[in-house]
Amino acid sequence: MSERTRWEEVKAQRENSESRQTGYRDATDAVELGVRIRCERERLGLTQAELADRMKTTQPVVARLEAGGVIPSLETLRKAADALGLDLIVDFRQRTTL
């Protein structure tokens, strides 16, 4: 019979894995973009449904976007920027942490 791995060992092995760090970074980016979109929408006094109309999408899509529930495509970010009257600027910068 094979020896079972304890959860603590599995957790310790995964803690600093590259895939965990990538997933965390992706999730952080999605949440930060969502917060920015929500703040701009609220600044303009728009509802999610109104922003969705401007983006030619649906209110649930905007809700997921604002909640950070999806990693938006470049096309989605362009639609959001256009709908909010903003310029989309994509930039590369030196990482401070992984």
12 inside domain: no
42 inside domain: yes
The four Cα atoms 13, 18, 23, 29 give a dihedral, to 10 degrees, of 140
DSSP-derived letter for residue 85 is: T
pLDDT of residue 98: 58
- Quick check: helix, strand or coil at residue 15? helix
The dihedrals phi and psi of 39, each to the nearest 5 degrees, come to -60, -45
**Number of domains comprising the chain:** 1
5-57: pLDDT as tens digits: 787 877 777 777 888 788 888 899 999 999 999 999 999 999 999 999 999 99
The dihedrals phi and psi of 54, each to the nearest 5 degrees, come to -65, -35
pTM listed for this prediction: 0.78
| Residue 23, number of CB atoms within 10 A of its CB | 11
pLDDT of residue 76: 97
pLDDT of residue 2: 59
* CATH assignment of the domain containing 80: 1.10.260.40
**Better-predicted residue by pLDDT, 92 or 18:** 92
